[in-house]
Structure 1
Amino acid sequence: MNSVKVNYAAVGITLVVVLVMTLKMYHTRVTYRLHTVNLKELLSVSIDLAELGGERVVAVKQEHKLHAESKGETKEGKQEMKTDGDMQSHRTILAGFHTAFPWLDSRIVSEEHDKHPDTSQSVNPNKKRPETDTLPDLSVLVGDITIWVDPLDATQEYTENLDEYVTVMVCVAVKGEPVIGVVHRPQQSDHHQKETVWAWVGQGVSSNLGSIGVQTDAKAPDAPIVIISRSHAGSANQTIKQAFGKGHAVPAGGAGYKSIEVIRGKADMYAHVTVIKKWDICPGNALFNAVGGHMMTLKGEIINYDKSGSPVNEHGLLASVNNFQYFLNRLGPVFDSEQKR
């Protein structure tokens, strides 16, 4: 009779591997169910990292080493650009989140991807910041959080030296709802200063957003000023003309820039009719929500920013502080009819 020889070393290694994997899975479940994140600290870190990412964006531009390349084409045949400014900002922001909140690594969605991220960046989650230090300490579960990062919004304009449109953005969504939005303008221009605006829905907004007053639908303008994309406009001009007749479309770069312009009263609304990614619009969505405005699809749908869903918003976009329903009632049907063609 042949005897069976047991390789005890192999069995031992297998058992160790199984044990490690089991413990890792258990730790992940416990982290998601029990570990919480302080939103005030997350806001402070998001502001720091947007500004640090902005420093890299500016440095790359000053060094004249953009290394611009296309990531591919949109459905409309427009090129989507990527530069070293995008990548260096991305690495800085993700490294900073990792050092401050390592348990959030899997909850971050960035526009860019990198197999070799910078691991040297460090930020202090307990940093005292005058504007945010008086805000309440509120915590949420790790599994309820999704962080959207746009390391360089308006890359096309960045390559064209239209620096006023360029921003670095971070958004924190809780259970799919945009709660914290940070938009940092890293470069001074002839028309705009370097600045960071932020909002925490229900808790506070940065003082530089100004005083916001929500009007009524009765005061809706006959010829609204509509800010639209200059590089991904699609049929926006025709849609606005058909919906309002006298409406005036103003092309501009960057979703962050356009959101702030509307909130500050430089335009009546922000409209977009082509596909747009959620890292572009989540920060602005949080800003609008915080000041009493709205951002939805042109079908009147609330946009869900949970990581489990698609990163693509396909049904257009409308955002305004005032008269939102009036604008939606005019633009929505025109958008629907164009989609059915």
Structure 2
Amino acid sequence: MDAKDFVQSILNLSQQASNLACLIREDPQLNERLTASKSDRINGEADFKTLADVLIQCTFSHGLRRKFPGFKINVRGEEDGSFPAQNGKQVKLEITDDAQNTRKLLSQVLKDDSVVEKLSGAVHRNMEVHDDFLNKISGLQLPEELNVWIDPIDSTKSYIKGGESLESVTVLVGVHHAGIPIIGVMTYPFSKQQIWGVCYGNTCVTNVPKPLGNSPIKTVYTSTLETDERRDKLRSQGYHVETPAGAGFKLGGVILGAASFYLVSRRSTYQWDTCGPHAILRALGGDVVLQSRPDTPLSYNDSVDPNEGFVAFLDKQGALKLLSALK
């Protein structure tokens, strides 16, 4: 499988996902009406999913399998493909090439025929992303069996809230092989930005420019679940600590140079959160390693268990110094 064709397809489908996210969010009443609760996460916080989450994941999975029918592509995501219908029962949104079937499925969830038609059109709309950096991976051959993690809407609470919170919303796609993240695509639906990276074999390519230098003041992103004691300890060591929303957004901050590190001490993230950004960090020369074993990167499989505590970085020595400051 040619890497250029595969990444091009992920970029196209991610752009289509971004378009769906924006369409659904354009109507606040529609977005509010189409929000369903899920079982509590391991950290005890309530979790939610929107129609955008489910529809994006189903559309992405179908599109990727249709494009590469002869390859073993295992697509897994945060959602299970189901959403409450108008009658209160769960409907499985199984997308096919049949637009009429899509309209039929969506009409079980939505009363407004015009909205059904609008969303169905977006599901079956082909989008094309143009990026000259893709030429750098032309000819690179990928394994015939690939595993894909997708988080269709990362920072769902921000997506539901709207307003300025929308800047932290991302669509995350990660591809791993033999436990190692090798392809990552991050799309920011509301700022229209898309970043990606490939790190496989001896090839590391990304459309993200490497930072020109290190800031003397190191910014650390943490979760709000991080203890005040640990945050205060970091500040006492000269670090600037921030807690923006969204695991994907925080990882993207490290990738784009807004933060030096993303520190997670609790089991509060999942493979679908980290796989894509992790691959981009690797393409830039960075990594995501376990706090307890800094020489061990996060690895990937098909488990839905939460990740161990980790630190994400571009500067390995700086990350080791950070962890040392917490001891």
TM-score (norm 1): 0.74
Structure 2 residue aligned with 1:265, among 243, 257, 274?
257
User: Counterpart of 1:133 in structure 2: which amino acid?
Assistant: N
Q: Is the 8 A contact 2:204 2:284 kept in 1?
A: no
Q: Is the 8 A contact 1:71 1:79 kept in 2?
A: yes
Cα displacement (A) at 1:213: 4.9
Could you tell me which residue of structure 2 aligns to residue 112 of structure 1?
79
**1:266 aligned counterpart, secondary structure:** coil
User: Structure 1 224/68 Cα, relative in aligned 2: closer, same or farther at 3 Å?
Assistant: same
User: Counterpart of 2:157 in structure 1: which amino acid?
Assistant: Q
Could you tell me which residue of structure 2 aligns to residue 38 of structure 1?
2
User: Structure 1 127/103 Cα, relative in aligned 2: closer, same or farther at 3 Å?
Assistant: farther
**1:82 aligned counterpart, secondary structure:** strand
Structure 2 residue aligned with 1:95, among 62, 73, 80?
62
Q: Is the 8 A contact 1:146 1:176 kept in 2?
A: no
Could you tell me which residue of structure 2 aligns to residue 140 of structure 1?
142
User: Structure 1 123/40 Cα, relative in aligned 2: closer, same or farther at 3 Å?
Assistant: farther
Cα displacement (A) at 1:313: 3.7
Distance 1:150 1:103 in 2: 24
Q: Is the 8 A contact 1:240 1:247 kept in 2?
A: no
User: Structure 1 329/256 Cα, relative in aligned 2: closer, same or farther at 3 Å?
Assistant: same
How does 1:1-341 map onto structure 2 within 5 Å? 37-64=1-28, 65-66=30-31, 67-103=34-70, 107-114=74-81, 115-120=92-97, 129-143=131-145, 145-161=146-162, 162-187=165-190, 193-201=191-199, 202-206=203-207, 209-213=208-212, 224-229=218-223, 233-243=224-234, 245=236, 246-275=238-267, 276-299=269-292, 300=294, 301-307=296-302, 310-322=303-315, 323-331=318-326, 333=327
User: Counterpart of 2:158 in structure 1: which amino acid?
Assistant: E
Cα displacement (A) at 1:205: 0.8
Deviating above 6 A after TM superposition, structure 1's stretches of 4 or more consecutive aligned residues are: 122-128
Greater radius of gyration (CA): 1
TM-score (norm 2): 0.77
Distance 2:248 2:279 in 1: 11
Distance 1:224 1:248 in 2: 6
Provide structure 1 residue ranges, at least 5 long, that are not aligned to the other structure: 1-36, 188-192, 334-341
**1:306 aligned counterpart, secondary structure:** coil
Distance 2:57 2:197 in 1: 21
Q: Is the 8 A contact 2:73 2:148 kept in 1?
A: no
